[in-house]
Structure 1
Amino acid sequence: MTDADLVPLEALVPWLDAKGVGSGPLGSVGFLTGGTQNVLMRFTRDGRDYVLRRPPRHKRDRSDDTMRREARVLAGLASSDVPHPELVAACTDLDVLGCVFYVMAAVDGFTATESVPDAIAADPARHRVLGESIVDALAGLGRVDPEATGLAGLGRPGGWLARQVPRWAKQLDSYAQLENWPGPELPGLTEVSDWLTANQPGSWTPGLIHGDYHFGNVLFDPETARVAAVVDWELATIGDPLLDLGHLLATWPDPAEPRTRGLAVTLDALPSKQEVVARYAAGSSRDLSAMPWYHALACYRLGILLEGTHARGCAGKADPVLGKQFHAVAQSLFEQALTVIEGATCTGM
């Protein structure tokens, strides 16, 4: 079964006409694949390339709300210096396609998860540019003023930091309802949780966060190796932007860790994690003294999320092979968290 029936052109074209999104027939219609479960259809009209994004075939309870949220974020980012796809039009009328959807300008680029263009791979200078650019884009996101961009109501910043560990612990506990899951075989689970609870930063500054910032959600320009657009904004909210930096650190390529290959391509001249933090600090006024805490929290959060795929795989509700792979990555992330905690303890955090 293809996704073509999810975007009937006889319903879409009149809507595009009404919104002034080009004129005439659609050309080069095709569906994109990737890590997202949402449906992405690329098409051309009047010589311009667009991408339509809608929920998956089997919508979740909040799928339409997620589409509204993403469109709102893209609209808010229009006045920022954060590279992102331009929002062209959004549809909240369920009578058109049976769901909320939006159309954005297409962005040509590549994700640096498993490979990069040969010209970039052969040029250490562009390795450096690629690594610094993904950090610079994130620092720019951390500078976005939610009030000025109309995004202040996107989340609940009050108590946000204190809610993180209990929230993800509850998520992990919920997997016990899935049959055949052996339980959370994650190294240092209690130790990491206890340390995060005991060392939560006493103060922080709310801001706009992406919620899933890593190489797989960033498109790079194939010529310059700079960030062309940050994509997949479905988890965006108002929280602590330093968690996004922690997430980038947690998923930064480690040539010595085979379990995490595929999260990001290994390039010889990428900045080190220490250089990543320093680069972010140069573009931010935020206090990074508690950065090990955010790094460990990101490992904890992402590890629990990936363990969910393993639990669903055990229950026959997800690909069991993928579930085992994600379980291995989750274990690696918890081991990474323990290393971060050990280093923070030694330096007196």
Structure 2
Amino acid sequence: MTDSLSDFDGLLNWPSLQDWVATQSLPGTGPITAVNKLSGGSQNNIFLLSRKDASFVLRRPPKHLRPNSNETMLREARVLAALKGSAVPHPEFHAACADESVIGSAFYVMAALDGFMPIGALPGNYATDPQWRRAMGPEMVKAAAALAAVDYQAVGLSDFGKPDNWLERQVSRWRTQLDGYREMPNYPGSSLPYIDEVGDWLERNRPEKAHIGIIHGDLQFANVMFRKDEPRMAGLIDWELSTLGDPLLDLGWILTSWTEPGDPDMGRKPAVEPWDGFVSRADLIKQYGEISGRDMSDMPWFFVLACFKLTCLLEGTYARACAGKASMEMGNFLHNYALWLMAKARQLIA
């Protein structure tokens, strides 16, 4: 059966992968008989593998590995394994492989989620029923609060990040990353407005104390899946930016993906459509506080930090596009999104 399976231009090495599957305690029996490449994940590759009685998902880095690609894969696997039995909606972890000789990189296997990624036009009842759309924001907040409630030390993730001086390190950490893009060929340098103003505000208004926990790191519509049969989340996906930090940053990240009257008018469209029916940002903040028991008075700071950090990350794709290492269409799109984020941050601090 291996002969009929595509290797997707060298991303999967079937003889050695079949041998590895045979040694693991994975759902189903026998060799892999079918494979489909799934959409989603701009950097990494996701495949649905099927064998007798079962199917599961394999996730691996791109063919041309970055210096930290394998480490990132194994970090993702580690956090998913640590979440077993928690209230966090996530794909069940099955197994990981650090041996690059199997398919050319580290990879891991997890359960397939039954659902869809909400980007652009919503499907089914989400498109026609405002009450289904109204449930989406609270579902994302419940997932963020559930992740924040996990005791990272109890699940073996004490060394998963750098909690010491977390608040104090944020602005310099991401500003250094932004400045580093100057080394990219043909990158004109950051033309982002308000970076210094917003960074200075963040430094001057830093909260007194961080509450350290596991953060997803990129909690937005592109990294969640919702069920098709009811307005509930199927799971959080794409854990490559997960680390230790203050979980209010995850809520700030959700708020950056929201659309409300009064936001900067810069041609930005809602992440999903139709948008009517979605609850307000204030409702999301209130709900998170009620679930978590946290004082939410510092939430404006974390919203601004989310805008600042995401801007610094998105500009990296624009810099790579200028250097010919990414799509210029995508680079321009993300650069324009970064401009909107900085306008929103300045609006918040005004």
Task: Calculate the TM-score normalised by the size of structure 1.
Answer: 0.93
What per-residue deviation string (whole Å, max 9, x for no partner) do you get for residues 33-68 of structure 1?
223311111122232220001111011111111111
| Structure 2 residue identity aligned to 1:10 | P
Match of 1:303 among 303, 311, 323: 311
CA RMSD of aligned residues (A): 1.8
- 1:238 is aligned to 244
Match of 2:276 among 263, 268, 278: 268
The correspondence of residues 240-259 of structure 1 with structure 2, limited to 5 A, is 240-254=246-260, 257=265, 259=267
| Per-residue deviation, 1:324 | 1.3
- 2:12 is aligned to 7
| Structure 2 residue identity aligned to 1:278 | K
Larger helix share, 1 or 2: 1
Question: Are 1:283 and 2:309 matched, yes or no?
Answer: no
Match of 1:48 among 46, 49, 54: 54
| Per-residue deviation, 1:220 | 0.3
- 1:20 is aligned to 25
- 1:103 is aligned to 109
Moved more, 58-67 or 177-186: 177-186
Task: Report the Cα distance in structure 2 between the residues aligned to 1:184 and 1:264, rounded to whole angstroms.
Answer: 29
Task: Check whether the contact 1:307–1:327 (CA below 8 A) recurs between aligned residues.
Answer: yes
The correspondence of residues 209-228 of structure 1 with structure 2, limited to 5 A, is 209-228=215-234
What per-residue deviation string (whole Å, max 9, x for no partner) do you get for residues 295-347 of structure 1?
001001111211122222222222122211111110000000011112xxxxx
Where does structure 1 differ by over 6 angstroms across 4 or more consecutive aligned residues? Answer: none
| Per-residue deviation, 1:258 | 6.0
Task: Report the Cα distance in structure 1 between the residues aligned to 2:315 and 2:106, rounded to whole angstroms.
Answer: 30
The correspondence of residues 57-136 of structure 1 with structure 2, limited to 5 A, is 57-136=63-142
- 1:345 is aligned to none
Distance 1:95 1:318, change over 3 A: closer
State the aligned residue count: 342
Distance 1:7 1:209, change over 3 A: same
| Per-residue deviation, 1:115 | 1.9
Task: Report the Cα distance in structure 2 between the residues aligned to 1:308 and 1:94, rounded to whole angstroms.
Answer: 27
Question: Are 1:317 and 2:304 matched, yes or no?
Answer: no
Match of 2:347 among 339, 344, 349: 339
SS class of match (2:294): coil
Task: Report the Cα distance in structure 1 between the residues aligned to 2:201 and 2:291, rounded to whole angstroms.
Answer: 29
SS class of match (2:30): coil
Task: Report the Cα distance in structure 2 between the residues aligned to 1:315 and 1:262, rounded to whole angstroms.
Answer: 29
Moved more, 143-152 or 29-38: 29-38
SS class of match (1:95): coil
Task: Check whether the contact 1:253–1:264 (CA below 8 A) recurs between aligned residues.
Answer: no
Identity in percent:
44
Task: Report the Cα distance in structure 1 between the residues aligned to 2:326 and 2:286, rounded to whole angstroms.
Answer: 39
Task: Report the Cα distance in structure 2 between the residues aligned to 1:212 and 1:26, rounded to whole angstroms.
Answer: 32
Task: Report the Cα distance in structure 2 between the residues aligned to 1:236 and 1:81, rounded to whole angstroms.
Answer: 17
| Per-residue deviation, 1:98 | 2.6
What per-residue deviation string (whole Å, max 9, x for no partner) do you get for residues 250-301 of structure 1?
1113476564436444421111000010111111022221110100010011
| Structure 2 residue identity aligned to 1:298 | A
| Structure 2 residue identity aligned to 1:341 | I
Distance 1:234 1:220, change over 3 A: same
SS class of match (1:57): coil
Task: Report the Cα distance in structure 1 between the residues aligned to 2:274 and 2:217, rounded to whole angstroms.
Answer: 23
Task: Report the Cα distance in structure 1 between the residues aligned to 2:11 and 2:313, rounded to whole angstroms.
Answer: 28
Task: Report the Cα distance in structure 1 between the residues aligned to 2:166 and 2:43, rounded to whole angstroms.
Answer: 27
Task: Check whether the contact 1:259–1:329 (CA below 8 A) recurs between aligned residues.
Answer: no
Task: Report the Cα distance in structure 2 between the residues aligned to 1:259 and 1:80, rounded to whole angstroms.
Answer: 40
Distance 1:178 1:251, change over 3 A: same
- 1:347 is aligned to none
Distance 1:35 1:98, change over 3 A: closer
Task: Calculate the TM-score normalised by the size of structure 2.
Answer: 0.93
Distance 1:125 1:262, change over 3 A: closer
Unaligned 5+ runs, structure 2:
1-5
Task: Check whether the contact 1:211–1:236 (CA below 8 A) recurs between aligned residues.
Answer: yes
| Structure 2 residue identity aligned to 1:247 | W
SS class of match (1:24): strand
What per-residue deviation string (whole Å, max 9, x for no partner) do you get for residues 100-150 of structure 1?
111101112111121221322111111111221111111111111101211
Task: Report the Cα distance in structure 1 between the residues aligned to 2:70 and 2:268, rounded to whole angstroms.
Answer: 32
Moved more, 311-320 or 231-240: 311-320
